[in-house]
């Protein structure tokens, strides 16, 4: 079993040395520490340091972090990352939070985090599906390609909400019948042109 470290800071002006010292103090070799310097807007799996760690780690390894919040930009991102690692039979240890797979309480906490991740994803799916169902009941069509810019805006809102809740771009796009490229195209157009102007109400 190997101990692999992971550190994250938001900007290059921040010093990750505190995290590095904490990891090496529990036995992580400096050569086995993976680092990301990135804002919290990027999901963990899309960060280069985390991507390299996931490629390098094998079943039985333990990923050590200073605090568990270093694993993600939000609660759901942290939970999803823990769940992903656990699915690969990779343990997670947090120095500050007392999460240690070598202890009974640590294993319990890891199992709880993995269970919470699954629960959060199910809630997200239910909310997104409910939003799509409500849009369909109100007359919104999720055809391809939608000609009405307001339909595009509604689908884009559903996909954006899914992304904010931790879905990947591909998964969010599938929820509204788009490809990932189509989602990116509409996001780019929305940033450039702004949201579509709502149609004027009918004359009395």
Could you list the active site residues? Answer: 10
H or E stretch at 6: strand 3-9
The label of the residue with tokens 């939608």 reads 146
DSSP assignment of 25-90 equals: HTT--GGGEEEEE--TTS-GGGSHHHHHHHHH--TT-EEEESSGGGG-SSHHHHHHHHHHHHHTT-
Q: Could you give the maximum distance between any two Cα atoms of the chain, in Å?
A: 75
**What is residue 123's three-state secondary structure?**
helix
C-alpha closest to that of 39 among 13, 61, 68, 2: 13
Q: Please report, for residues 126, 155, 165, 181, 204, the alpha-carbon distance to residue 188 in angstroms, rounded to integers and kept in the order given.
A: 27, 14, 20, 10, 37
Instruction: Identify whether 145 is preceded by a cis peptide bond (ω within 30 of 0).
Output: yes
């Amino acid at each position: 079993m190997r101990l692999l470290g992971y550190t994250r800071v938001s900007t290059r002006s921040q010093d990750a040395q505190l995290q590095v010292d904490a990891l090496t103090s529990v036995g992580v070799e400096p050569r086995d520490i993976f680092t990301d310097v990135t804002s919290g807007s990027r999901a963990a799996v899309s960060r280069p340091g985390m991507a390299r760690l996931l490629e390098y780690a094998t079943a039985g390894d333990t990923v050590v972090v200073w605090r568990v919040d270093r694993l993600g930009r939000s609660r759901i991102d942290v939970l999803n990352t823990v769940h992903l690692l656990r699915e690969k039979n990779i343990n997670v240890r947090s120095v500050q939070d007392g999460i240690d797979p070598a202890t009974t309480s640590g294993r319990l906490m890891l199992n709880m985090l993995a269970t919470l991740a699954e629960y959060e994803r199910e809630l997200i799916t239910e909310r997104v599906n409910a939003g799509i169902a409500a849009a369909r009941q109100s007359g919104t069509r999720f055809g391809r390609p939608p000609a009405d810019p307001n339909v595009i805006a509604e689908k884009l809102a559903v996909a954006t909400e899914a992304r904010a809740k931790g879905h990947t771009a591909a998964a969010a796009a599938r929820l509204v019948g788009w490809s990932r490229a189509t989602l990116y195209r509409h996001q780019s157009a929305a940033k450039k042109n702004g949201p579509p102007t709502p149609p004027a109400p009918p004359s009395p």
